[in-house]
Structure 1
Amino acid sequence: MKKVWRSKLFLRYLVSYFVIFLVPFLVMGVILYQQSVVQLRSTIEESNMSKLKQLQTFFDGRVEELSKMASQISYDHRLTPYMVQHSYFGQEAIRELSKYQVNNAIIHDLYLYYPNSPYIYSSKGMASLDVFFSRVFSFSDWERSDFQKQMKALQEPLFVSQQVQARNERNERMLTLIYPIPPNTPSHHGVVMYFIKEAKLLSSMRDVLGDTEGGVFVMNNNQEVIVDFKNEFDGANGLEAIQSAEQGISSTIINKNAFSIMKVNTEDTGWSYVTVIPQNVMFSKLSSMKTALFFLAALLVMFGIVASYMLSLRNYRPVDHLLHLVQKKSTRPLRGNERPKNELTGLQEALESLFAEKDQMAKKYGEQEPFVLQQCLLQLLKGDHASKQQAETLLKQHGVRFKGKAGFVLLIRTENVQQIEGMISGPLQHIDMKGAEAFAVELVHDECVAYVVDVQQGGTKEHVAAIKAKLAPYWETMPALGVGRLYKASEGFHPSFVEAMGALEYTKILGKDNIFFADIDRDAKPDLWYSKEQQVRLVQSVKTGAPEIAVNTLQEMFTQLRTTNWDPSFVKCVCFDMINLVLRTSHEKGIALTTSAYALTSFSSISELERSLIDFTRKLCTTVQEHQRKSEEEIQKQVVDFIEANYCQHRMSLNVISESFQLTETNSSRLIKEWTGTTFTAYIWELRLKKAKERLQTSDESVKKIVKDIGYVDVANFTRKFKKTTGMTPGEYRQNARIHKSYASH
């Protein structure tokens, strides 16, 4: 876990994912908060507007009732000026006024006044104007004379905005509403005065408004405040803002505080109803919502952190695992052995290192490709079943595919190294013909070249003729050719190779340029002796160390011997001839006998001889293979010893080695690769580098002299290669070696 947190790549992933989560969450949070505020504000405003309209309905209804009552009073014959002033009917008029007052719940007192009359009438009786103004009600700015003048000129309902108090009601504040009668006429003969207790009206307003936030104002058509509820304004600034507000919902600043104003008007009366709510009170409703939003935001942030961590870890681990895997597979250290800035940089460097190794391996592979092809083809010819499948797989990887259903082997004997080199490395290495393909492989010990021919269609002779036609331009004299029989698919290359070796031997005996193994025994009479074909196949299988073919040939010969009607003495002669054939071949290969001739010749039956001779032949083939291996190892050792003795010579090359040992350059390179495990060029460099290091450590000779002494002419080129291999120049290497030597001595 600590390693993860120390990783810059992981932290970069974490920050990136957190930003990816945080930005949408912040945007969503802001949008959600804004929508919540707007919605809540709208809800509060709509709720207050609804209550304000209810208040409007309440007031308009009461005013309408008072207007109708005034109209009824004006047309009531019991309340005419004559009737109210009459000594008898006046009492009835008083009772009638009392009835009108009782029918309306909000009216505290109802008065009827006729202009030019010194009296005013109510449900309680008649009183003079002097008594009315001095003992019943107290008006702040109204005297009797002012009252009489204004009542005479009154043309429409009037709300008295000045303070009115009932003297006998503990100076309670009254609201006064005056209607001219009859209403809605150009002339009138009296007025109806309604006195309403402000406290009672406020109580009714409270019932209608409920828990409305802010202040509520009711204003007449002159924008004078009739009544207010929860008025929190100290001065006139607030009232001016309220009076100037438009109908509907608006915002304003009063005494440096923000308010929302909701206003509705009644067209008939011109009255206005206003609710004023401080916006801080409105936003206080958001406190619970803010807490919920805070916890939601905290939860989202926690989720974002956890999700960012999990996603970062999920993306980081494969990169880290891949980096360790690539570094483990890479044989080169990272650049400068420095810790990379992050895992991606390290992965880039590791991949670059791997690709560099791949390019180097591809280069080496390209250099070794001809040798690999030669080895694979040799394995097919030798019939090595253990490596046959691997050889075929390698051949396919190199683009060599046996497409045909049959094949044969053609051998060409020549002692001319240049001719052999031309066949195995030049344009003759792969011959493409109509219906067949031929691939050349060098046989070092037999001083010949074999063509492995893959046949799709056609016969052996026509393809041999095509190969000879391809070879003709490069040869002045056509060498001897030996051709094996056509066998099924790639499995027959080994027996065909043995037959081709036998056919090639017959070219010496018969003095012919080319011999087909199938033609060797064509004119012989098989019933007189075993066939020449069997003889050649047996001899060549022993010489090439092919036990399976040798055993199969012997079994075939003994089977034929059992089925003949020959004389027993003649059969015995044939048996001795078969023994002689095997022993003579062993002698020609220079192999000492491990079984005495007497043991082979003292047989009592053909079956006993067959078992003994087959066992002897198997051992003989194994010994031949061992001799071939030792012979090749001896050549390899001689070549390597030659290189180690002469590597300081500037002229040392594959061509020099090939000429010295009568080998082709291809075969020389293969022998060096098999013995040293590396290429000729790499081995020469290894020897020269070792010698240069030794002389740099033990002598004071100049770098130039050392370089020339080990076989290099170009000092600059050697210095570049030396630094690429060791990481230091020759001079730095010498200085470093001396420092280590000095420390070691102390």
Structure 2
Amino acid sequence: MKRNYFKSKLFLKYIWSYLFILLIPLILMTVFIYENAVANLRNEIEHSRLDQLTQTKVIIDGRMKELGEIASRISYDNRLTPYRVHDPVTSGEAIQALDQYKATSSIIDEIFLYFHKDGKIYSSKGLYDFAVFADNFSFQSWSKTELFRDLNSAKYPTMRPADTVAISSNLKETALAYLIPITPNNPDPHGTVMYLIRESELTSLIDSILGNYKGLTYILDNEGRMLVDDRQGEMLSDAETKSLIGLPPGIYERKIGGKAHSIVSVKSENNGWTYVAVMPSSQFFSSVLHVRSFIIMLFTITVLVGAAIALLLAKMQYQPISTLVEFAASRTDARRSRDSSAAAGNELDRIRTALQDYSSRVDLQEPFARNHFLSMLLKYGNVQSLSPGLQEAFDLRFDRSRHFVMVIGSGSTDDSRSDRQERQEMIKLLNRIEFPELDARGYGVELPQLDQLGLIVSFNPNAQGDEFTHVRRIVEAVRDNLLELFDAMPMIGVGTCYPSPDQLNQSFIEACSAFELRASAGHGTVTYFEMLSYTHDHAVWIPNNTLMKLSQSLKQGSFDVAAHIIGSGIEDMQSKELSAWLMRCICFDLLNTMLKTASELGIHSLLQEVAPNMMYGNSLDELKRSLLNLASRICNQVERNNQKQEQSLMDQIVAYIDGHYKDHTLSLETVAFEFSVSPSHVSRSFKEKMGLNFIQYIWQKRLEEVKHQLKTTNDPLKDIIVRVGYQDTPNFTRKFKKETGYTPGQYRKLFFENGQPLPEAEPDDEA
């Protein structure tokens, strides 16, 4: 089924998270790049304008210097002395000379020569009476009187601001008047040279240098008067224009008319004039339109690619979560899934809830699973073949160099409350026990026999002492720990120490043999398998402890250990080079032990099936195979008998539960004591037989009984719940609704209204 990821808030949250991770640095980087590009371009344009304005200043300063030099040459030109100018014969040469000087500078529109207190004024076009001149060249802001005064009183070069000049009453133009006294730098000049300069000459010069510049350019004299006003675009008010007066050289940013402007100022060192360029900041942005377009295009492409990557990453991250959600949902009923979806904010909450449910179940089952794991280890050995994951999950480590097993028991099957309490405390103590000073660690195992516990011990031997002494010290340490808790010391059987944990099954068989064959039945007895008596004076015979170990392995159904004992015994005889007859006699010990054990186990049929010539006429290898075959048959029969007993026992336990499930004191421990087996054994076997664990089965029985009584009686719910053995009414009501989808009251009401059974949800594993 195809999943619609976009219906999931968690999936959308992942997408937005990745997009934010992408977009936040991308936006910051884009803004930084854009602002940096604008700032760089702005700085570049402003400095370019500064350089251009400086160039304009240099050129205009050069033209002004040029005009000063022309005035100096006029003052020393013999053709332009007062005498020759007034002489009718030579006055033509004077006018011609002025025309020649005018031609030397392109910015001069007209040149005039005036001698102080003279009624005449001379130009390149002829001689004027001053009154006629004033009428032909009428300045809007410069009266005839002021003109006459300035021409007679000028002692320093003076530039008049641009003014409208009416020429011959029919032509008007804006021009500047530049007055230079002659002789220049003379404190008592005798005349004045006046240049008439069209404003357009200077503005066109400025425009040619500044290029496609859009803005305002001003030339201010040293007194702050505006000499030239070159407008490209907007105009400034008088107040805004006055704010530019006295502006030091440099680059500034100001708001003029509510808009941002960039102002560039340059001052001339020759005449003190200030050149000011005012540029709207908007023209900087028009210069970076292509950069902005490129950045926007790149940003869009990056966002689209990032969105695709975010979608892919979100899908990759969400997919395993979705799988977990489906798995969690598959383990619960449909109703519970809907309730969980409504209650939980997103899939993670549902997974968290499911994990909490499973964790509680695992916590409940872990002790039994751990005990089953260790029980299999005692039965079959071969630790290396067992799952390393399970060893890690149960925190089991067999990393020491020596290993052995202890069987600890009281020898009593009393079912008193004190005995049960004592057994639980002992299980808790031995579950995991460590002796750092002995470099030893032990793991407790509940055995099927109610009065026995197993303890698997791993240790590293002390280099100064022998191995058996180290084992004895560990056993004494265990006894000391038990003595602190219990008044009566239990009996202990100790198996042989082996270098590999794969041989723990052999040590377990030996510990069981030592426990059964202990020297006395008194409390606190410790029996070491290695210390059991055997025949010393007949070294060729099989030791008694080996035969006891063989018998115990057959009783336990452990063929691997039995096969190892038989094989080791025959190989040992072969190494001693005994006669064939003596070896067969010795083999009778093995056969007799096996037949005696079979008889004790009630397997009498084997006695008739053993061939009379089994011990005769066959080679030693054939005899070994016969003995192994016999051991295999005995172990198989033991397994079958155990299975039958187990099945019968489970049938009895199920029948017992069916008859006592209404008892609120019913528990795994009470059932285990009732049938003289360990709780872990009951839990494991019950789950294998019924497919439900012990608690789930009792819950189902009580639930069905409550449903039945809700349908058939009018008794109060609390009374019904107490009758079926459940003490916590609110908790039962909550679980009942989770199981059926209805509260008990709703269930009863709907049943009587419909007159038929109600649709119910699937059984809930959490019960």
Q: Which amino acid aligns with 2:152?
A: L
Q: 2:505 corresponds to which residue?
A: 494
**CA 1:109–1:274: 2 relative to 1, 3 Å:** same
Q: What CA deviation, in whole Å up to 9, does each residue of 1:520-579 have, x standing for no partner?
A: 5545642796553454344333333233443444455556777677796x8877666765
The one-letter code of the counterpart of 1:683 is Y
Distance 1:133 1:396, change over 3 A: closer
Q: Residue 139 of structure 2 contacts residue 166 of structure 2 at CA under 8 Å; is this kept in 1? A: no
**Does the CA contact (< 8 Å) of 1:56 and 1:273 recur in 2?**
no
Q: Say if 2:751 and 2:758, in contact at 8 Å, map to a contact too.
A: no
**Structure 1's 687 and 400: CA in aligned 2 closer, same or farther, altered over 3 A?**
farther
1:102 and 2:75 matched: no
Partner of 2:762: none
SS in 2 for 1:526: coil
Q: CA deviation at 1:683?
A: 2.9
Structural mapping, 1:333-344, within 5 Å = 336-338=339-341
The answer (yes or no) to whether the contact 2:513–2:529 under 8 Å persists in 1 is yes
Separation (CA, whole Å) in 1 of partners of 2:240 and 2:507: 123
Alignment identity in percent? 18
Shift of the 67–636 alpha-carbon distance from structure 1 to 2, 3 Å rule, reads: same
CA distance in 2, matches of 1:66, 1:499: 135
Q: Distance in 2 between the 1:261 and 1:395 partners?
A: 78
CA gap of 1:514–1:391, structure 2 versus 1, over 3 A, is farther
Distance, in Å, in 1 between the alignment partners of 2:150 and 2:731 is 130
Secondary structure of 2:386 counterpart: helix
Q: For the residues of structure 2 that align with 1:644 and 1:545, how far apart are their CA atoms?
A: 32
- In the aligned structure 1, how far is the partner of 2:262 from the partner of 2:441? 101
In 1: Cα distance, 2:26 partner to 2:610 partner: 97
Larger displacement relative to structure 2 (240-249 or 56-65): 240-249
Partner of 1:364: 364
Cα 1:741–1:155, aligned 2, differ >3 Å: closer, same or farther?
same
Q: Secondary structure at the match of 2:662?
A: coil
**2:13 alignment partner AA:** L
- 1:426 aligned partner: 425
Once residues 43 and 243 of structure 1 are traced to their aligned partners in structure 2, the CA distance between those partners, rounded to angstroms, is 23
Query: CA contact under 8 A between 2:340 and 2:350: conserved in structure 1?
Result: no
Q: Which TM-score applies when normalising by structure 2?
A: 0.70
Task: Report the CA distance shift for 1:50/1:668 in structure 2 as closer, same or farther (over 3 A).
Answer: closer
Matches within 5 A, 1:78-157: 79=81, 81=83, 91=89, 95=93, 98-99=96-97, 101-102=99-100, 104-105=102-103, 138=136, 154-156=152-154
1:328, 1:257 → 2: CA distance? 61
The answer on whether the counterparts of 2:534 and 2:543 sit within 8 Å (CA) in structure 1 is no
Aligned length in residues: 713
CA contact (8 A) 1:223 1:243 kept: no
Distance 1:65 1:567, change over 3 A: closer
> How far, CA to CA, are the matches of 1:309 and 1:390 in structure 2?
44
Report the Cα offset of residue 283 of structure 1.
7.0
8 Å contact kept, 2:553–2:562 = yes
CA distance in 2, matches of 1:543, 1:558: 21
Q: Is the contact made by 2:382 and 2:502 (CA closer than 8 Å) also made in structure 1?
A: no
1:622 and 1:525 map into 2 onto residues whose CA distance is: 36
Of the three residues 383, 398, 404, the one matched with 1:407 is 404
Distance 1:204 1:392 in 2: 94
**Letter of the 1:425 counterpart:** Q
Counterpart of 2:599 in structure 1 is 587
Q: Using the alignment, how far apart are the partners of 2:385 and 2:355 within structure 1?
A: 32
Residue 722 (structure 1) aligns with: 736
- Residues of 1 paired with 2:85 and 2:483: CA distance? 160
- The question of whether the paired residues in 2 share the 8 Å contact of 1:112 and 1:192 is answered with yes
Q: Distance in 1 between the 2:530 and 2:225 partners?
A: 138
Q: Structure 2 regions of 5+ residues with no counterpart?
A: 462-466, 760-767
Separation of aligned partners in 2, 1:326 and 1:465: 50
- Give the equivalent residue in structure 2 for 1:546: 558
Give deviations 1:277-324, integer Å, cap 9, x for gaps.
Answer: 786xx6786585153244145235425633652574466345523532
Pairing partner for 2:698 from 652, 663, 684: 684
Judge conservation of contact 2:372–2:680 (CA < 8 Å) in 1.
no
Say whether the 8 Å CA contact 2:553–2:561 is kept in structure 1.
yes
Question: What is the TM-score of this pair, normalised by structure 1?
Answer: 0.72
Change (3 A) 1:91 1:738: same
- Specify the code of the residue in structure 2 equivalent to 1:382: K
Distance 1:223 1:585 in 2: 131
> CA contact under 8 A between 2:165 and 2:174: conserved in structure 1?
yes
Q: Distance in 2 between matches of 1:744 and 1:698?
A: 14
Match of 2:75 in 1: 70
Give SS of 2:404's match. strand
Question: Is 1:704 equivalent to 2:718 in the alignment?
Answer: yes
Q: Cα gap change, 1:205/1:452 in structure 2, threshold over 3 Å: closer, same or farther?
A: closer
The 2-side partners of 1:225 and 1:492 are apart by 112
Distance 1:589 1:730, change over 3 A: same
Cα deviation, 1:324-346, whole Å, max 9, x if unaligned, reads: 244245346668344699xxx52
Q: Distance in 1 between matches of 2:237 and 2:751?
A: 98
1:9 paired to 2:13: yes
Structure number, greater radius of gyration: 1
Amino acid at match of 1:352: R
**Residue number in structure 2 paired with 1:375:** 372
Q: Residues 336 and 488 from structure 1, CA distance in 2 versus in 1: closer, same or farther, beyond 3 angstroms?
A: same
1:643 is displaced (CA, Å) by 0.8
Question: 1:364: Cα distance to partner?
Answer: 0.7
Q: In 2, are the aligned partners of 1:414 and 1:447 still within 8 Å (CA)?
A: yes
Amino acid in structure 2 at the alignment position of 1:379:
M
Residue 17 of structure 1 and its aligned partner are, at CA, apart by: 4.9
Q: CA deviation at 1:616?
A: 2.4
Give yes or no for contact 1:410–1:453 (8 Å, CA) kept in 2: no
What does 1:580-659 align with in structure 2 at a 5 Å threshold?
580-593=592-605, 596-597=608-609, 599-601=611-613, 604-607=616-619, 608-654=622-668, 656-658=670-672
Q: Which amino acid aligns with 1:494?
A: N
Q: In 2, Cα distance between the equivalents of 1:438 and 1:141?
A: 121
Q: Which runs of 5+ in 1 are unaligned?
A: none
- Higher relative CO (Cα under 8 Å, sequence separation at least 6) belongs to 2
Return the alpha-carbon distance in structure 1 between the equivalents of residues 111 and 506 of structure 2.
Answer: 143
- The 3-state SS of whatever aligns with 1:407 is strand
CA distance in 2, matches of 1:192, 1:520: 146
One-letter code aligned to 2:424: S
User: Contact 2:494 / 2:515 at 8 angstroms: preserved in 1?
Assistant: yes
Return the offset for 1:626. Answer: 1.8
Counterparts of 2:443 and 2:150, CA distance in 1: 140
